[in-house]
């Protein structure tokens, strides 16, 4: 190529500023040596950090050293020594062919001892001897202490690469240090041949610093002169050093040394990748293609230079003279170059230290990750599932992990349509590695926002765009950073709460949408944009950023409205798999999260997920359990989180539900549900506990131990600190993909989500055309609520018509069958009062029915578990809760309001569920909202107690239909009225035990209670039958029953004439 020819003409050597085990072992370095003329290699801790993070090639050595109790610094040195030795061996032919002038591999001595000349000398000599290759250089910073150490090393015959040189003055000291060492060796009768040194002169960092200073030039008359110098100081400074190089190594002293066998200490241009996109990408390579020099380039800069670089061929004397004029002009602008150089050297040392500490911490984290995961017995894990071993064997035999990392779509489906869709949705696997390179960009932006005084950041997004930020906000919010608020709703009350909290002029709005057309954030954007315009905020676009895919409508909107920044996410990542992409990391950085640490933990787990030894693969193992247990009927994945990480379960809920709930199959994630005693659960649960090492939760641990003892499958994940969430994001993504393979479904599509969206849009179109919002006729209405029932629920056994208040609960519990779950879907404002009542209502349902309960806010759940509701198995009953907002908010540019939008979404989902034959109950609550929820909760608790339900028309003493009710509760008269009170009264079915298997055709049911006047039993909701009293217990002789599942309830007759009802007891007859 022409540029290569120019390089040869100029007499310059090209070195590579990069190394990795994959590059060395995979043939990449050999190709660069043979095809691109690479004649040497440089490295540093930052390069090794990237290599170790992004490649699994280090894992075997790292794990073996960790098993031998090697420390992180010892492991780092071992890994770098191996790589440098291999690189030096590949470069040995170049070394020999050049007579020892080229063919070197450079490695850096620990920067932590840069201020200690003696320690630097000792460590550099030791490292040189350990590598044991004559074509290796040890990099030593050219500080005062570094020059002292370098002089001693050169005297001992160690090849030295003096690094971190910024000024011509420091370069001259470095060159004279080399000459002094050669003189000493000559005078002491030591050979000069075979000793090589280079002086690494840094380039691009100088322009980065100087351009900033030139932009800050205050005097208007000097601004044009300052602007003319931008992008020219780095090259001018380098040319000044090059002139010194030519003078020193053509003078009489060096000629004497050269005659005695000494080589020139060549000047090496470092940091020649162009940082400023406004400059030509080969600027420094073009200008510094100088005779006798070396240019070390990262691969991208090397490729650009070989492709379209052109060496500057102007006479050197003219270029040096122009360079001196520019450097002189800086003094006229009041800029002190030496102060800039001193700061760059100081910053450079600190950056080297940070990079070294970073790679050491990464290795330490990898050591912990390996030791933590490879010890399941220590954490009490016993792998559950009767057929799990078969699944693990299938995964291993089919090379599941290897094919997953090859992104083989046939792991899930074999038809062309699915294969194409899956192939375009696997970018999440690489994203932790790729985003490491983007952290500086994200962190710089977060710092910019913080410096400008923003107090809040409001994220407008749904589903995958909002749930990961919600997790990271709740865990890592730093009070010194803008407070992050996640607004994933259309509820006007919720939006009003956010509006009241923020100062709109000091708030950054994050519009996050993969598709760019999501109706919820689009509506929120219109609202907040209008508020900013009305407040006469200059340049309102500067208060917005966008996170979206390339080519979306949001990208165009952001450009048209001059948003502050657009973060373009890779398009091969689905929303629910995007936690470790821009969608999660930008909001995380804005609220103060250390995203580098988060990503490093993700990379550690990703590396563990590459092994095909499934028992040691944290993601595939968890997925195998999820999928296998779901097929065995234990499809209620019950997530038990430490309090600090509670919101993480919401993210898992969306990931698992939307990914697996299709084709009539699915794993049902149950999150934020209080743990209960074993007898309160059916045989459909799989408990996964995430344990935070620093969190003490003895009560939770005791309940989990009881669940294990009762035979419920429990699996424990141990994390060391909250930043392990980075790894957990990746573990659960891999697990969900693996569970999808076990279930035989495509976990990367969401075929049933669009139905509700379409129905919502149709309703909004009718409103926009002037029609009123459709108002279906309720089945029952009272002062507190109105009731709407789907066709499938009306025809369910035991439900029928709802004509009065009690009928709601009769219908609810009669329709809920064995191993089914109930979903509470609340289109309500998320206020503390509403949230507390919803949690009570959920607990009441769980207690009464022993069924799994899901509680989600709408429309959030439409982008989360909505796919499971419609596409998963028909094993649920849904209760949609709506109400009319007291204060509505208009959506600028639309003919509907937020309240109308929210109601259209609720009605649309009701209709979509109904179209799928799902059992749905919609309860429209009236104001005051908290009071109506409390009223509903009391009705739930009082079900089955004569005369105790609010609004019940039945007289006291009249027998109600049978439902499960709470034990140790009764109703007593107080002040002339009936209230529910706590007491010591109880009634408990002792035998059969929960889910006991009965093999005979005669069984004596035993019931414990305190003194009472009588006892009845109802079996399978059939009429009450009297029991006999004997030996301190009540007994019922159960005969001639049929095989299958049965449920029993006991009713105690109190002396007051009231009843106390036991909990429902399930058993199996075979």
CATH of the domain at 16: 3.20.20.70
Cα(774)–Cα(79) distance, integer angstroms: 68
Report residue 990's pLDDT band, with 50, 70 and 90 as the boundaries.
Answer: confident
406, part of any domain: yes
Q: Comparing C-alpha atoms, which of 394, 520, 508, 368 is closest to residue 450? A: 508
246, part of any domain: yes
Structural domains of the chain, count? 5
- Indicate the residue among 593, 611, 644 that finishes a domain: 593
- The CA–CA distances, whole Å, from 837 to 673, 832, 840, 855, 931 equal 14, 9, 5, 12, 9
Mean pLDDT of 738-766: 93
Whether 944 and 971 have beta carbons less than 8 Å apart is answered as no
- The CA–CA distances, whole Å, from 1007 to 138, 337, 679, 841, 971 equal 83, 92, 15, 29, 21
For the record, the structure tokens of 444 come out as 């710089």
| pLDDT > 80? residue 331 | yes
- Indicate the residue among 687, 715, 743 that finishes a domain: 743
Whether 138 and 107 have beta carbons less than 8 Å apart is answered as yes
Q: Comparing C-alpha atoms, which of 525, 590, 582, 589 is closest to residue 558? A: 525
- Supply the pLDDT for residue 206: 95
Q: Domain of 798: which CATH number? A: 3.40.50.10490
- Supply the pLDDT for residue 965: 32
Cα(435)–Cα(803) distance, integer angstroms: 58
**Alpha helices, H only, 826-883:** 832-849, 866-871
Strand order in the sheet with 852-857: 780-781, 785-789, 919-925, 876-883, 821-826, 852-857
| pLDDT > 50? residue 378 | no
Helix (H/G/I), strand (E/B), else coil: 516:
coil
Query: For 110-114, 216-220, 379-383, 495-499, which range has the lowest pLDDT when averaged over its residues?
Result: 379-383
Mean pLDDT of 125-152: 96
For the record, the structure tokens of 334 come out as 């009041």
700 and 555 share one domain: no
Percentage, residues of the chain above pLDDT 70: 93
Q: What is the mean pLDDT of the chain?
A: 89
| pLDDT > 80? residue 297 | yes
Mean pLDDT of 908-928: 94
- Supply the pLDDT for residue 1064: 85
- Supply the pLDDT for residue 938: 84
| pLDDT > 90? residue 220 | no
- The CA–CA distances, whole Å, from 129 to 138, 853, 1011 equal 11, 66, 89
The DSSP bridge partners found for residue 923 are 787, 881
Torsion of CA 443, 446, 452, 454, to 10 degrees: -160
Whether 818 and 1066 have beta carbons less than 8 Å apart is answered as yes
- Supply the pLDDT for residue 303: 93
Longest dimension (CA), the chain: 120
- The CA–CA distances, whole Å, from 655 to 33, 578, 684, 857, 868 equal 46, 10, 20, 16, 11
997 and 1051 share one domain: yes
Whether 638 and 629 have beta carbons less than 8 Å apart is answered as no
Is 139 designated active site?
A: yes
Cα(942)–Cα(937) distance, integer angstroms: 9
For the record, the structure tokens of 946 come out as 């004569």
Report residue 775's pLDDT band, with 50, 70 and 90 as the boundaries.
Answer: confident
359, part of any domain: no
Cα(226)–Cα(480) distance, integer angstroms: 36
Mean pLDDT of 1034-1044: 88
560 and 626 share one domain: no
| pLDDT > 60? residue 380 | no
Report residue 382's pLDDT band, with 50, 70 and 90 as the boundaries.
Answer: low
Report residue 193's pLDDT band, with 50, 70 and 90 as the boundaries.
Answer: very high
948, part of any domain: no
886 and 982 share one domain: no
| pLDDT > 80? residue 961 | no
Cα(986)–Cα(377) distance, integer angstroms: 40
Mean pLDDT of 220-249: 92
| pLDDT > 50? residue 178 | yes
The pLDDT tens digits of the residues spanning 457-487 come to: 999 999 989 999 999 999 999 999 999 999 9
- Indicate the residue among 715, 743, 771 that finishes a domain: 743
- Supply the pLDDT for residue 954: 39
Determine how many CB atoms are found less than 10 A away from the CB of residue 902: 28
Q: Comparing C-alpha atoms, which of 523, 610, 726, 501 is closest to residue 56? A: 610
| pLDDT > 80? residue 973 | no
Query: For 258-272, 383-397, 636-650, 740-754, which range has the lowest pLDDT when averaged over its residues?
Result: 383-397
Mean pLDDT of 974-986: 42
Sign of the dihedral defined by the CA atoms of residues 49, 53, 54, 59, in that order? positive
Domain that holds residue 1050: 969-1069
Q: Comparing C-alpha atoms, which of 194, 29, 182, 7 is closest to residue 95? A: 194
- Supply the pLDDT for residue 811: 81
Mean pLDDT of 247-266: 96
Torsion of CA 366, 369, 370, 374, to 10 degrees: 180
- Supply the pLDDT for residue 981: 33
- Supply the pLDDT for residue 2: 41
736 and 821 share one domain: no
587 and 607 share one domain: no
For the record, the structure tokens of 865 come out as 């578990």
Q: What is the bridge-based pairing of β-strands 785-789 and 780-781?
A: antiparallel
Percentage, residues of the chain above pLDDT 90: 71
The pLDDT tens digits of the residues spanning 348-366 come to: 999 889 889 988 988 888 7
* Catalytic residue chosen out of the listed positions 39, 50, 139, 413: 139
| pLDDT > 70? residue 957 | no
The pLDDT tens digits of the residues spanning 522-540 come to: 999 999 999 999 999 999 9
Whether 757 and 749 have beta carbons less than 8 Å apart is answered as no
| pLDDT > 70? residue 370 | no
947, part of any domain: no
- Supply the pLDDT for residue 372: 60
694 and 715 share one domain: yes
In this structure, what are the phi and psi dihedrals at residue 661, rounded to the nearest 5 degrees?
A: -80, 80
Report residue 952's pLDDT band, with 50, 70 and 90 as the boundaries.
Answer: very low
769, part of any domain: no
136 and 181 share one domain: yes
Q: CA-based angle 143:144:150, to the nearest 5?
A: 80
For the record, the structure tokens of 300 come out as 């991208």
Helix (H/G/I), strand (E/B), else coil: 988:
strand
479, part of any domain: yes
Q: Comparing C-alpha atoms, which of 127, 105, 181, 113 is closest to residue 150? A: 181
Helix (H/G/I), strand (E/B), else coil: 855:
strand
- Supply the pLDDT for residue 975: 31
Sign of the dihedral defined by the CA atoms of residues 243, 246, 250, 253, in that order? positive
The pLDDT tens digits of the residues spanning 92-109 come to: 999 999 999 999 999 999
432, part of any domain: no
Report residue 377's pLDDT band, with 50, 70 and 90 as the boundaries.
Answer: very low
Report residue 386's pLDDT band, with 50, 70 and 90 as the boundaries.
Answer: confident
| pLDDT > 60? residue 980 | no
111 and 259 share one domain: yes
Q: How many CA atoms lie within 13 A of 1047 on its CB side?
A: 17
Cα(761)–Cα(536) distance, integer angstroms: 32
Cα(819)–Cα(685) distance, integer angstroms: 9
723 and 612 share one domain: yes
- Residue length, the chain? 1070
Report residue 966's pLDDT band, with 50, 70 and 90 as the boundaries.
Answer: very low
Choose from 213-217, 821-825, 942-946 the range with maximum mean pLDDT: 821-825
Q: Comparing C-alpha atoms, which of 729, 659, 666, 748 is closest to residue 409? A: 748
| pLDDT > 70? residue 4 | no
Mean pLDDT of 333-340: 90
Cα(849)–Cα(293) distance, integer angstroms: 80
| pLDDT > 80? residue 768 | yes
Mean pLDDT of 1019-1024: 87
To which residue do tokens 């993969």 refer? 514
335 and 209 share one domain: yes
417 and 488 share one domain: no
pTM of this structure: 0.74
Cα(90)–Cα(26) distance, integer angstroms: 12
């Amino acid at each position: 190529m022409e540029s290569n020819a120019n390089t040869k003409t100029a007499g310059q050597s090209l070195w590579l500023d990069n190394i990795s085990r994959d590059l060395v072992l995979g043939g990449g370095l050999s190709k660069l040596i043979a095809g691109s003329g690479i004649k040497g290699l440089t490295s540093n801790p930052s390069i090794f950090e990237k290599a170790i993070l992004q490649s699994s090639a280090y894992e075997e050595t790292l794990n073996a050293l960790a098993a031998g109790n090697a420390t992180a610094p010892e492991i780092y040195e071992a890994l770098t020594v191996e790589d440098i030795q291999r690189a030096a061996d590949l470069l040995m032919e170049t070394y020999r062919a050049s007579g020892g002038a080229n063919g070197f591999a450079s490695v850096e001595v620990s920067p932590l001892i840069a201020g200690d000349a003696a320690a630097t000398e000792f460590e550099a000599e030791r490292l040189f001897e350990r590598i044991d290759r004559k074509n290796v250089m040890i990099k030593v910073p050219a500080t005062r202490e570094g020059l002292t150490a370098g002089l001693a090393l050169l005297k001992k015959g160690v090849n030295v690469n003096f690094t971190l040189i910024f000024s011509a003055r420091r370069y001259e000291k470095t060159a004279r240090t080399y000459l002094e060492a050669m003189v000493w060796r000559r005078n002491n009768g030591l050979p000069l041949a075979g000793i090589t040194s280079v002086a690494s002169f840094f380039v691009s960092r100088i322009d980065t610093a100087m351009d900033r200073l030139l932009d800050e030039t205050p005097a208007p008359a000097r601004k044009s002169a300052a602007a003319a110098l931008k992008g020219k100081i780095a090259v001018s400074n380098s040319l000044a050093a090059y002139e010194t190089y030519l003078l020193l190594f053509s003078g009489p002293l060096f000629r004497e040394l050269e005659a005695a066998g000494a080589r020139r200490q060549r000047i090496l241009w470092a940091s020649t990748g162009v940082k400023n996109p406004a400059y030509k990408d080969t600027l420094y390579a073009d200008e510094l293609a100088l005779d006798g020099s070396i240019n070390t380039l990262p691969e991208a800069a090397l490729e650009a230079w070989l492709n379209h670089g052109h060496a500057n061929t102007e006479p050197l004397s003219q270029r040096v003279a122009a360079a001196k004029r520019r450097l002189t002009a800086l003094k006229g602008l009041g800029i002190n170059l030496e102060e800039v150089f001193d700061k760059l050297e100081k910053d450079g040392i600190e950056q080297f230290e940070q990079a070294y500490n970073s790679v050491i911490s990464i290795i330490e984290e990898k050591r912990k990750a390996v030791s933590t995961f490879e010890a399941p017995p220590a954490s009490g894990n016993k792998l559950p599932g009767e057929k799990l071993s078969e699944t693990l064997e299938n995964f291993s035999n089919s090379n599941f992990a290897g094919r997953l990392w090859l992104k083989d779509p046939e792991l899930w489906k074999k038809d062309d349509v699915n294969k194409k869709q899956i192939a375009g949705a696997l970018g999440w696997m690489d994203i932790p590695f790729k985003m490491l390179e983007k952290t500086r960009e994200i962190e710089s932006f977060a710092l910019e926002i913080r410096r400008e005084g923003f107090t809040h950041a409001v994220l407008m997004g749904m589903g995958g765009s909002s749930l990961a930020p919600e997790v990271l906000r709740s865990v890592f919010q730093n009070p010194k950073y803008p407070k992050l608020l996640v607004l994933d709703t259309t509820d006007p009350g919720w939006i009003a709460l956010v509006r009241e909290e923020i100062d709109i002029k000091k708030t950054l709005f994050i519009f996050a949408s993969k598709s760019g057309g999501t109706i919820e954030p689009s509506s929120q954007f219109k609202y907040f944009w209008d508020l900013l315009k009305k407040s006469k905020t200059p340049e309102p676009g500067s208060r917005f950023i966008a996170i979206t895919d390339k080519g979306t409508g949001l990208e165009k909107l952001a450009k048209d409205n001059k948003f502050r920044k657009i973060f373009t996410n890779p398009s091969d990542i689905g929303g629910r798999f995007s936690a470790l992409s821009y969608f999660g990391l930008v909001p995380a950085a804005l609220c103060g999260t250390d995203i580098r640490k988060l990503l490093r933990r993700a990379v550690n787990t990703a590396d563990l997920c590459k092994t095909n030894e499934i028992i040691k693969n944290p993601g595939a193992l968890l997925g195998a359990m999820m999928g296998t247990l779901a097929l065995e009927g234990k499809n209620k994945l019950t997530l038990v989180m430490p309090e600090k990480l509670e919101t993480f379960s919401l993210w898992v809920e969306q990931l698992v539900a939307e990914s697996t709930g299709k084709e009539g199959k699915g794993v049902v994630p149950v999150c934020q549900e209080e743990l209960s005693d074993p007898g309160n659960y059916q045989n459909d649960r799989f408990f996964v506990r995430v344990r935070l090492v620093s969190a003490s939760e003895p009560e939770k641990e005791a309940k989990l131990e009881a669940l294990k003892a009762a035979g419920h499958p429990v699996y424990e994940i141990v994390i060391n600190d909250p930043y392990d969430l980075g790894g957990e994001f990746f573990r659960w993504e891999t697990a969900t993909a693996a569970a999808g393979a076990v279930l035989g479904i495509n976990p990367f599509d969401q075929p049933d989500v669009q139905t509700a969206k379409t129905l919502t849009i149709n309703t909004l179109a009718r409103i926009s055309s002037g029609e009123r919002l459709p108002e279906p006729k309720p089945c029952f209405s009272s002062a507190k609520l109105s009731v709407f029932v789907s066709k499938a629920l009306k025809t369910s056994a035991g439900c029928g018509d709802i004509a009065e208040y009690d009928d709601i609960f009769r219908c609810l519990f009669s329709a809920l069958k064995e191993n089914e779950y109930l979903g509470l879907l609340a289109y309500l404002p998320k206020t503390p009062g509403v949230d507390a009542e919803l949690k009570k209502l959920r607990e009441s349902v769980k207690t009464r029915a022993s069924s799994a309960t899901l509680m989600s806010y709408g429309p959030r759940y439409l982008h989360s578990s909505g796919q499971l509701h419609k596409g998963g198995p028909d094993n649920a009953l849904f209760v949609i809760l709506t109400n009319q907002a007291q204060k509505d908010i208009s959506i600028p540019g639309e003919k509907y309001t937020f309240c109308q939008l929210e109601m259209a979404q609720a009605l649309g989902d009701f209709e979509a569920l109904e179209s799928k034959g799902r059992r749905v109950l919609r309860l429209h609550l009236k104001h005051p909202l908290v009071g109506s929820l409390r009223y509903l909760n009391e009705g739930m608790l009082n079900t089955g107690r004569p005369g105790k339900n609010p609004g019940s028309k039945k007289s006291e003493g009249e027998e109600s239909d049978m439902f499960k009710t709470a034990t140790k509760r009764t109703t007593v008269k107080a002040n002339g009225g009936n209230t529910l009170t706590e007491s010591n009264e109880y009634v408990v079915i002792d035998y059969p035990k929960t889910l006991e298997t009965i093999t005979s055709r005669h069984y004596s049911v035993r019931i414990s209670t305190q003194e009472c006047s009588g006892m009845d039993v109802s079996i399978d909701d059939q009429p009450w039958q009297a029991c006999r009293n004997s030996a301190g217990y009540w007994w019922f002789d159960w005969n001639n029953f049929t095989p299958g599942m049965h449920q029993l309830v006991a009713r105690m007759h109190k002396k007051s004439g009231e009843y106390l009802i036991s909990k429902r007891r399930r058993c199996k007859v075979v």
